[in-house]
Structures are given as structure tokens and as C-alpha cells.
């Protein structure tokens, strides 16, 4: 009886978290669900951002399952208002960005401090892409800054005159130079991860890696 009782007790703690998940009570169906934009976060990160709405999961549930939180907000624009390109990029954003981050993490090596930036015509999509990349790095246990690389207004104006494929390598060199000018610690392993749409007519994100002031496209 004791093993069976322990099993039932264990599952009681696990499923109590599931029972408290508001998605089971409040979800309105697929049609209504299109009114929302959602971002998948590890529950620890979601609890840090939204402590009043997302509880800490039990230790047992964390041990037995990979627990995520789905953070949803009402769309700023109604369904169908975005361009087909934006919809294609956002549809599988987490999975696609996770794959690109995996390429960068493998190329950068261990003991790397990360900063992330995204390059896309729509600022709202920029934030979503950069956020997905930071979450992916954090889920891998890699240290990543919440802030993007910092540039002067003059730098940004220069970058705007260049094609995107050239502007990002230029920003890599400038990022390294600015850190040296500010007296910040320079480690050749520190990395600037860039996710970008290089062609207005495509919906495929590309990924590049900046280390030591040298930039390379990985895909």
C-alpha cells in the first residue's frame, strides 16, 4: 500500500498545479483564441514577470515535468490585419528562434555572456523575436542580458544607410568598439546574437554571431 499511496500523493501535488491553470476554465475556443497573442515562457520566468498571476509551481511538478506558462494578451491588431509575411514569421516563432539560438550557442562555445538584438521592419515583431531568443538562451541555462546592444544615435543613422546584410556586421564592430571606449570588460567569448529578416520578400529569419568584433552569418 505504501508505494501506491506515495504515487497517489505525488500525483495529487502535480495535478493540483494543472487544476489551478486558468486555461482549463477560461479558454474560449479556437476562433476566440485568435484574438490573443501568446508567448511561451518557463514558469520561473513567468512568475518573475507576473508574480501576481503566475504562481510558483510545486517542487514535485518541476522535477517530474518541464512546466511552461503561456502568457497571452489581446492582439493590438485584429486577426488578418498583419501582412502574410508577419503572420508566417510569428506562427512558429518560438520553435524557429529556438533552432537558430541552438546554432549560435553551439558556435559560440561555453562560458559566453549574451546580448540579443533583432532586425525586422515592424518594431512589435522585433520585440517578440528578441524576447523569444532571450527565453531560449535562458532555458539553456546561458546568461543573457535583458537589454539590447547600445549604440549612439549617429551609429543608428549610419546603419540605416546600409543594406541589412552589411549593417549588422557593422553594428557588431561598433558594439565591440563602444565597449572598449567605455572601459567595459572585454572577453572574446562574449557574444552579440543577431536575428534578422534580410529580404523584404521572405519570411525566413537569419541568425548571425558577433564575437570579438568579428561577425559571421550562421544561417
pLDDT in tens, 48-76: 777 777 887 766 555 555 667 777 776 65
Q: State whether residue 82 is helix, strand or coil.
A: coil
CA separation for the pair 190, 210 (Å, rounded): 8
pLDDT mean over 28-51: 69
Residue 12: predicted pLDDT: 39
| Helices marked H in the chain | 2-19, 23-26, 30-33, 43-49, 59-64, 84-91, 93-108, 123-139, 153-160, 164-181
φ, ψ for residue 13 (rounded to 5)?
A: -70, -40
* 24 vs 68, higher pLDDT: 68
Contact by Cβ (8 Å): 114, 145:
yes
What are the structural domains, with CATH classification, of the chain? 2-74 (no CATH), 84-217 (3.40.50)
The residue among 145, 157, 155 whose CA lies nearest residue 192 is 145
For β-strands 191-196 and 206-211, DSSP reports them as antiparallel
Amino acid at each position: 500500500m505504501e508505494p501506491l499511496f506515495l504515487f497517489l500523493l505525488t500525483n495529487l501535488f502535480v495535478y493540483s498545479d494543472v487544476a489551478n491553470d486558468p486555461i482549463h476554465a477560461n479558454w474560449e475556443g479556437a476562433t476566440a483564441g485568435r484574438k490573443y497573442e501568446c508567448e511561451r515562457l518557463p514558469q520561473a520566468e513567468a512568475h518573475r514577470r507576473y508574480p501576481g498571476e503566475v504562481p510558483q509551481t510545486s517542487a514535485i511538478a518541476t522535477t517530474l515535468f518541464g512546466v511552461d506558462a503561456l502568457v497571452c494578451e489581446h492582439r493590438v491588431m485584429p486577426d488578418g490585419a498583419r501582412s502574410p509575411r508577419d503572420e508566417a514569421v510569428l506562427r512558429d516563432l518560438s520553435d524557429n528562434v529556438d533552432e537558430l539560438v541552438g546554432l549560435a550557442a553551439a558556435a559560440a562555445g561555453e562560458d559566453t555572456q549574451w546580448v540579443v538584438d533583432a532586425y525586422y521592419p515592424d518594431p512589435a515583431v522585433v520585440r517578440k523575436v528578441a524576447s523569444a531568443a532571450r527565453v531560449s538562451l535562458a532555458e539553456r541555462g546561458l546568461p543573457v542580458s535583458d537589454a539590447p546592444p547600445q549604440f549612439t544615435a549617429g551609429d543608428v543613422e549610419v546603419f540605416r544607410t546600409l543594406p541589412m546584410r552589411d549593417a549588422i556586421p557593422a553594428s557588431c564592430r561598433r558594439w565591440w568598439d563602444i565597449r572598449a571606449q567605455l572601459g567595459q570588460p572585454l572577453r572574446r567569448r562574449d557574444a552579440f546574437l543577431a536575428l534578422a529578416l534580410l529580404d523584404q520578400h521572405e519570411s525566413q529569419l537569419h541568425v548571425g554571431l558577433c564575437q570579438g568584433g568579428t561577425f559571421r552569418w550562421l544561417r
